[in-house]
Amino acid sequence: MNGTDNDDPDDGFAATTDDIRALAADAALESHGVETGGPAPIVRHGIDVVSIGRIADLLAEFGASFRGRAFTDAECAYCEGRGEPAQHYAARWAAKEAFCKVLAEESPAIPLDSIEVVREATGPRLALESPAAETLAASLEREGVDPDAVAIDVSLSHDRRVGYAVGSVTVVGIETGSRCDRPTDENTER
């Protein structure tokens, strides 16, 4: 038997996988200037796929009204400056929906224009305004994560030939050990 066909559950593979996850989370945090090496990181991930045609239809039907409710002025300027604006709007819409999926709330009512995809030389990033920033902070605090010590990464993709855009958002933070839903001496009934 060769070394790759080992089905032994005690072969250390699970620990190696956990180590790889921890290293990847540490690297993500460090790339955003967050110190690591303490408690285990918490990773939340959201992904959304949207039809470019659906967004094109919304743009055609509702025009400036739709753009004004869902996108910032900077996002509109970027998308309108591209050869195929609908695919760029669709990717941003997908990223905003993916962001909402990383939150602990089931269906938060966050205005989409409070979530902005900012284009930088190193790639896209999310800029959060009120109430999106406060909703994320509250969600993280409930999970015992310091909102000031998180890394947020966003990835966008779109393909006109298949007619879809994808947005992916990953939030990595460090657990502080104080979850809001955990009973403490002060809030435990006796």
Rounded CA-CA distance 157/167 in Å is 7
Which CATH number fits the domain that encloses residue 40? 3.90.470.20
Domain that holds residue 80: 14-175
Question: Is residue 102 in some structural domain?
Answer: yes
pLDDT one digit per residue (tens) for the chain, 190 residues: 344 444 444 544 455 555 655 566 666 666 656 565 666 678 889 999 999 999 999 999 999 999 999 999 999 999 999 999 999 999 999 999 999 999 866 656 889 999 999 999 999 999 999 999 999 999 898 888 888 888 999 999 999 889 999 999 999 887 776 554 433 334 333 3
The tens digit of pLDDT for each residue in 103-135 reads 866 656 889 999 999 999 999 999 999 999 999
Share of the chain above pLDDT 90, in %: 54
The total domain count for the chain is 1
Q: What is the pTM of this model?
A: 0.73
In-domain check, residue 70: yes
Report the amino acid identity of residue 173.
G
Residue 35 lies in a domain: yes
Report which of 19, 50, 34, 37 is spatially closest to residue 171, judged by C-alpha positions. 34
89 belongs to a structural domain: yes
Asked, for residue 2, whether it belongs to a domain, the answer is no
Q: Is residue 183 part of a domain?
A: no
Q: Is 91 helix (H, G, I), strand (E, B) or coil?
A: helix
- Report if residue 7 sits inside a domain: no
CB atoms within 10 A of CB 56: 17
Q: Using N-to-C axis directions, what is the helix angle for 73-80 and 85-101, rounded to 10°? A: 140
Does residue 185 form part of some domain? Answer: no
Structure tokens at 2: 């060769």
